[in-house]
Amino acid sequence: AFGETTVAIMPFFAAGQGQGPSSTMLRGAYLNATIASVRAGLTSHVVVAVANAADLDFARKCCGPLLDALYLPGLDNPNKLGVATLIAVHRLATSRGPDPLDAREKLYDKSERSATRWADRSDLGFVGSHEARRTGLPPREWRAATHFYYTEADQILRFRDADSIKTAALGKNPATTLLLPHRAVPMPLPDDFRTVPPGARAAREGLLATAELETNEAWGSVSLDRADDACCFPTVVHACQPAA
């Protein structure tokens, strides 16, 4: 039930890179892994927000069916995609009928003295929900959602005990519940890409040639055990029980 009323949303910027050192190819691999982890542990309702046509095409093809894709072009800085995504989520979650972003949302110039209809700046002729563009209306899950999981497109979600954590999040008073995840940073190594499916050899060679993988190889690594790594808690039970 929790997953059915939860929408996971993540901004994704690969073409032109924006902020961060990762190559475009690695960012696509991170996105795929992130979406797979969200589907496995939280919800199948996944939305990717992008700022250019190349990333929109990639996101819709790379990682299986999405609930929706948000097209948010015309930003003066790609690092603002995260804020634009949150604004878009709020509009879609609180509006009925056609996509309000495409219908009436505006962008201001840097002086904030003039506004232009956002869709008028789009090279694809629309902004906002790709599904609304395709079918006429945003997916009903936008309005039906009771929870939104906002994350980055390179953050793998891992639950030690998903049911207990979801129960805590849906307690008697969710407004007073705060869940703080621990953040571990995965570092891809060359060995992670030694074996690839047939037809993907060219992509593998491109990945192996990236400076990021060469740098990471010089670092040490720690293997995590899915059953036993309990972080700062001695057991799963301790991690999920309410605070005294």
- Each residue's pLDDT tens digit, 66-106: 999 999 998 888 889 999 999 999 999 998 889 999 988 88
Residue 242 has pLDDT above 90, yes or no: no
Task: Measure the CA dihedral 25/29/32/36, to 10°.
Answer: 180
pLDDT at position 27, please?
A: 84
pLDDT at position 4, please?
A: 85
Q: Can you point out the beta strands (E) in the chain?
A: 6-11, 46-50, 68-71, 106-108, 115-117, 128-129, 147-150
pLDDT band at 229; cut points 50, 70, 90: low
Distances (CA, A) of 185 to 156, 157, 221: 9, 11, 11
Give dist(CA 192, CA 36) in Å, integer: 17
**Which two three-digit tokens encode residue 96?**
């009925």
By percentage, how much of the chain surpasses pLDDT 90?
Answer: 35
Task: State mean pLDDT over 54-74.
Answer: 93
**Which two three-digit tokens encode residue 132?**
């609304």
pLDDT band at 209; cut points 50, 70, 90: confident
Give dist(CA 16, CA 51) in Å, integer: 11
CA-based R_g, the chain, Å: 20
Give dist(CA 67, CA 46) in Å, integer: 5
By percentage, how much of the chain surpasses pLDDT 70?
Answer: 68
- What amino acid is encoded at 146 in this protein? T
pLDDT at position 174, please?
A: 61
Give dist(CA 81, CA 84) in Å, integer: 5
pLDDT band at 211; cut points 50, 70, 90: confident
pLDDT at position 31, please?
A: 93
Q: How is residue 242 annotated by DSSP?
A: P
**Which two three-digit tokens encode residue 140?**
């009903």
Measuring CA to CA, which residue among 238, 222, 242 is closest to residue 230? 238
pLDDT at position 243, please?
A: 47
Contact criterion met (CB below 8 Å) for 107 and 118: yes
pLDDT at position 214, please?
A: 75
pLDDT at position 244, please?
A: 45
Task: State mean pLDDT over 205-225.
Answer: 72
What is the per-residue pLDDT across 5-47, written as a single tens digit (0 to 9) for each?
889 999 999 875 545 555 677 888 889 999 999 998 889 999 9
Task: State mean pLDDT over 212-241.
Answer: 62
Average predicted confidence (pLDDT) for the chain: 80
